[in-house]
Homo-oligomer: A and B are copies of this chain.
Amino acid sequence: MGGGTVTSPQGFHAGATSAGIRKKAELSLDLGILFSEAPCAVAGVLTTSRIKSAPVMLCQERLARGQGMAIVANSGCANAYTGKQGLADACEMAKAAAFALGIDADDVFVASTGVTGKPLPLDIIKDGIRKIALSPDGGHEMARAIMTTDTVPKETAVNVRKDSVTFTIGGIAKGSGMIHPDMATMLAFLTTDAAVEPLFLRGALKRAADVSFNMVSVDGDTSPSDTVLLMANGLAKNEPISERSAIADIFERALTEVCVYLTKAIARDGEGATRLIEVKVEGAATVVDARLAARTIAGSSLVKAAVYGGDPNWGRIVAAAARSGAKIIESSLDLNIGKIGVLRSGNTLAFREADVAEVFKGSEVLVRLNLNLGTGSATAWGCDLTPEYVNINSQYMT
């Protein structure tokens, strides 16, 4: 995994340009288009924030119909907290892309990330859209165009072959941070040439996002702009995949693999992060409890700071689980940090703190907590909390 990108599946083209939405326009791509030759079934997962950005509201409308052919996305301005004007601007952006592509505006999805509370620079965006040249190798450019304080583009693809069916799933994502630092907006665009029934496409994306994008935390804040879109254009010519298809599981596993890959890439590249933290909670009374506990541990400032400093303060992991709301009994807890056994049935094992510190200093830190109360399990991802995170988020670059 890791070689491909969002244009790896058949019939997807992409391109990007330095439109000048960001201040340092010459240096970086900030506007991109992803286009499918053939009409797609489209599924999406959008922010849970009660106030949604204009592009998210537009996507919400488009997703009700569940069809589309293109995504136009920019960084540098989120078009959030911009009221009615913002919604009109997002529609205009879709129209401009549709005109350039020769398709219907209803078939264009929009995503914006960047500073909030500022109007979208529509003229700059319209000019930029005209300049974009699409190519079947353009996925990488598109991945770069949606970056904000990301330090690396995030992209991957998997090929699936099962009996006579062959298809590809590709994806790109951006994570945490902005050039105008604002909030850790997450965007992910996923594509496949598999033919997939819309109902199953929605369900599979929802389930895949629940164990990937919905289990990552950089700083606990939720953006008004979070958007995951999945386009399936059917060019693989397979029998459309539904819940009952023999390959339904294979499709969903591959989709989940792509989502988890991108999620880990987002966590690893969190603002200021030096380490990926993976938290597996097992033996919870319910899956909901497992998710709660795993996310709370991965999101705890104190756990994150301890990992950053290589501080073997394992009590913080227990404390985070204990405040998460999940059912938890001290005398049932097994805790492992990397390969080091720390607790068995709530009793501290004989281990060297220096060994735990050593695990915390690795580039991937695995925490496993077994609550021994049931069969619920979940994995969450996060990153360490560093002084650099504070630096990035305390400077308004004007």
Contacts and interface: CB of A to CB of B under 8 A. Distances in A.
Interface of A: 48-51, 78, 80-81, 83, 115-117, 181-184, 219-224, 300-302, 305-306, 308-316, 318-320, 322-323, 325-328, 330-331, 346-348, 353, 357, 385-387, 389-391, 393-396, 398
Nearest to A314: B117
Given A81-B330, A387-B387, A323 B48 contact: yes
Given A117-B348, A182-B313, A221-B302, A387 B393 contact: no
A301 B306 CA distance: 17
Contacts of A393: 301-302, 305-306, 309, 311, 385
Contacts of A319: 49, 51, 116, 183, 221-224
A117 B328 CA distance: 17
* A-B CB proximity, top 5 nearest: A309-B394, A116-B315, A387-B387, A305-B393, A222-B323
A292 to B, nearest CB: 11
Contact of A301 (B219, B313, B322, B398): B219
A271 to B, nearest CB: 10
A106 to B, nearest CB: 24
Contacts of A50: 322-323, 325-328
B222 A220 contact: no
A220 B322 contact: no
Given A48-B323, A387-B391, A396 B315 contact: no
Given A50-B328, A83-B346, A182 B315 contact: yes
A322 B224 contact: yes
A342 to B, nearest CB: 9
29 contacts: A49-B323, A50-B322, A50-B326, A51-B330, A81-B330, A81-B348, A115-B315, A116-B319, A183-B316, A220-B300, A220-B301, A221-B320, A223-B319, A224-B322, A305-B389, A305-B394, A308-B390, A308-B394, A309-B390, A309-B393, A309-B395, A310-B394, A311-B393, A313-B396, A357-B396, A385-B390, A385-B393, A387-B387, A389-B390
Contacts of A220: 220, 300-301
Contacts of A300: 220-221
A290 B223 CA distance: 20
Contacts of A389: 301, 305, 390
B51 A328 contact: yes
A236 to B, nearest CB: 38
Contact of A80 (B219, B221, B315, B320): B315
A50 B332 CA distance: 13
Given A50-B323, A117-B314, A322-B49, A83 B330 contact: yes
A219 to B, nearest CB: 4
A322 B80 CA distance: 12
A216 B313 CA distance: 24
A91 B71 CA distance: 65
Nearest to A300: B221
A203 to B, nearest CB: 25
A353 to B, nearest CB: 8
A318 B221 CA distance: 11
A220 B398 CA distance: 31
A74 B83 CA distance: 54
A219 B357 CA distance: 22
A181 B311 CA distance: 9
